[in-house]
Every structure is written in structure tokens, then in C-alpha cells.
Copies of this chain bind each other. A is one copy, B any other.
Amino acid sequence: MDEPVSAGDRDLRLGDRARIEDLFTAYAYHFDRNEPAEVAALFTDDAVVDYGPEMANLSGRHTIESGVAAGLRDIFTATSHHISNVAIDFIDETRARAVAYVYAWHRYRDGSPDGFLWAQYHVGVRRRRGGWRFSEMTLKAAGSTDFHRSEMHPIGRNATARG
């Protein structure tokens, strides 16, 4: 093997994969540290975030920052977002779709029992001059317990009749 990376590996775009994984990692890190400006900086100017049917979409980086800031300030005293299962599908040189699982723990300001969420981020990402950014994010839940939102977008599990 003289070629360090095979032709098939080129298609894998390992560098872009790592950078897109880093984007999810940065999102969780800044969210959990209550740094809304740093969270918003991970999105394109015109990005749209859909956290669920009970909440209006956040459209544009500025609205994302203020929406995230309000939630972090009013609802939680602590959170921890554990990201895994990142799957990336490249559309072209500058665009990709990705799914990441999140297991999120939430401690509430009002003393409610800790909220747990088992969910997925379905995102669009774009590469601009400054690197990869989220252009679109939809949160879809497999399930939750004691979570502050009761209606969530579903992950799309196939319904099967029993027996």
C-alpha cells in the first residue's frame, strides 16, 4: 500500500467528518455552560432551529441566540448533552445532512424532578469561509421522562401491530 489513504477513504471525507462531529461537540459544550452567543455562532446567519411543536421555530442566528439564552436562563440550573451516533451524508463539497443522537439530562430551576431526553438532532450543515455551520436543526425525540415539553417531533419509528 503506497497510497496512505485509499480512493474509498477519500470519499469518506474524514477531515470533514471530524469537523462536523466537532460542531455537535461544541454545541453541547457551550449549551451546557450557558454560553448562548457561542452556541449561536455555530449556525449560519439564516439557520432555522425546530426544537419541537410546542415552540416557534428559531429563524436566524440572532433569534437562535436569544431563544437559547432565554431557555438557559429561565428553565435550567444545569444540563448535560451527551452526543453520539453521528451519521453524515455528504450532498456536495459544501453541504451535508447529519443525524446525531443525544442523551440529555436537565436540572430545573423550579425544583421539578430531573428531566431526561433520548433524542436525535437532524441537521443540515454548510461549509462557508469560516468552516462548517449548522444551517438547519430539528430535534426528534425517541422518548423522555419528566421533560418540560410534552410534545416532541417523533423519530419516525415504524408502528407495528402486536401479534
Contacts and interface: CB of A to CB of B under 8 A. Distances in A.
Interface in A84-106: 84-87, 99, 101, 103, 105
Interface in A38-80: 72-74, 78-80
Interface in A114-160: 114, 118-119, 142-143, 145, 155-160
A111 to B, nearest CB: 13
Interface residues of A, number: 58
A99 to B, nearest CB: 7
A118 B105 contact: yes
Contact of A109 (B15, B105, B162): B162
A129 to B, nearest CB: 12
B87 A143 contact: no
Contacts of A162: 73-74, 109
Nearest to A79: B142
18 contacts: A3-B4, A4-B5, A8-B15, A12-B19, A14-B14, A14-B15, A14-B18, A17-B18, A32-B142, A33-B156, A33-B157, A72-B160, A73-B160, A74-B162, A80-B101, A80-B103, A83-B101, A105-B118
